[in-house]
Amino acid sequence: MPDTPFFEVNEAIRSLGGEDLNLCMQCGTCSGVCPWRNVETEFFIRRLIRFGQLGVEGSESEEVLFGCTTCGRCVDNCPRGVAIIDVVKGMRAMGAEVGAMPATLKAAAGSLESHGNPWGEPRAKRFDWAKDLDLPPFGPDTEYLLSVCCTSCYDARSRKIARALVQVLRAAGVSFGVIGTDENCCGEAIRKTGNEEAFGRLAEANVSLFNGRGVKKIIVTSPHCFHTYTKEYPALGGEWEVIHHSQLLAQLVADGRLKVEGKVAAKVAYHDPCYLGRHSRIFDEPRAVLGAAGATAVEMGRERDFSLCCGGGGGRVWMETAHDQRFSVLRVREAAEAGAEVLATACPYCLTLLEDSRKTEGFEDSLEVLDVAEVLARAIPPA
């Protein structure tokens, strides 16, 4: 049966944020540079856009509609400058209207609604990771608000990032405080699933919370928070000086405020998180932090703008990915092949996925996965 194009669908996608839908000329550059080309898949971004343009069937499956990790490789390479991620977002929003939303994403959205975090964890436990740390509350006397990613608030492995960061900040004498359980998920990933409503609620709550407390400067531990706070909140009235912890640490070392006395004598490969590197153009500072810790840098080949996505963006961190489709598996293999003893990164999602793959691929004894803050903490004697 031939299909008949359904132009109303095209119009709906455009009105749901995918404004550039028709600007795509179908050259296919996007599909060519997409990380999905490293694995077997049904997902081709060009084809997804085509389904949207014509408003014909074919994009309904989870793998196709929710395949995109929003890593941004294609956006960087599109000759027409199509805002591809926005088109994906628009198509997902369109799908959501007709109920095409994977169960895992529904669960994440539900948890965000009731707990302010996507992991189904009670709000009250948001600061359990810092129970014994005696963190000062944010107030007029504190310079920075330390805003910790939901994942690092609840996940056992990820909490260590936050704790290492606190250790280093204290060693450098940085003035910071925390808000605590009132904070909400930044909403970056849920927005990418097409759930504009959930994002709006979270963003509004955070903006009024931070503004109400007189926040001027924020340290974030996730590139996803960094992206939202710097690129999406300003339109909603949230304008602060936002710094990713890798930037701050590099600055502290450069200014001599942080004395690094020890040395991490290991070969370290650095994995550029998509939202820190490609999306936010922060490439050098995390490397500077590793260098300050005395690490020997080894290269994996896909660096900086060409970094391979871990697979966790665009809401996929909440979804199940088949083992043979995991980019993080490829990434830990690359690190191992490059002779790295440590695979460092600067994003809680990347860390979670790489950690997992390190284990499934049998590198438990030969390769560690660490955040740059953790690497630096090892070079600093505990207070």
Region from 54-62, 167-175, 235-243, 332-340 binding another protein, contact rule CB under 8 A:
54-62
Residue 84 within binding range of ligand SF4, rule CB under 6 A: yes
Which two three-digit tokens encode residue 97?
A: 């209207």
Q: Which amino acid is located at 127 in the chain?
A: F
Residue 152 within binding range of ligand SF4, rule CB under 6 A: no
Of 13 and 166, the one with the shorter C-beta distance to another protein is: 13
Choose from ligand SF4, another protein, none: what does 3 bind? Cβ within 5-8 Å by kind: another protein
What is the rounded CA–CA span in Å between residue 147 and residue 130? 13
Site string for another protein, 62-101 (x = CB under 8 A): ------------------x---------------------
For the CB of residue 204, give the shortest distance to another protein in the complex, in Å.
31
Phi and psi torsions of 175, nearest 5°: -90, 110
**Closest residue by Cα to residue 272 from 301, 313, 244, 309:** 309
User: Do residues 355 and 371 touch, judged by C-beta distance below 8 A?
Assistant: no
Strand partners, 220: 147, 244
Region from 1-9, 66-74, 236-244, 290-298 binding ligand SF4, contact rule CB under 6 A:
66-74
How many chain residues touch ligand SF4 (CB under 6 A)?
14
Among 16, 21, 24, 74, binds ligand SF4 (CB under 6 A): 74
Pairing type for strands 144-147 and 368-371 reads: unpaired
Pairing type for strands 217-220 and 176-177 reads: unpaired
User: Do residues 207 and 237 touch, judged by C-beta distance below 8 A?
Assistant: yes
Phi and psi torsions of 122, nearest 5°: -65, 140
Residue 69 within binding range of ligand SF4, rule CB under 6 A: yes
For the CB of residue 28, give the shortest distance to another protein in the complex, in Å.
9
For the CB of residue 263, give the shortest distance to ligand SF4 in the complex, in Å.
37
Among 13, 16, 21, 34, binds ligand SF4 (CB under 6 A): 34
Coil, helix or strand at residue 156: helix
For the CB of residue 78, give the shortest distance to ligand SF4 in the complex, in Å.
9
User: Do residues 335 and 300 touch, judged by C-beta distance below 8 A?
Assistant: yes
Of 3 and 364, the one with the shorter C-beta distance to another protein is: 3
In the complex, the residues that contact ligand SF4 under the rule CB under 6 A are 30, 34-36, 45, 68-74, 84-85
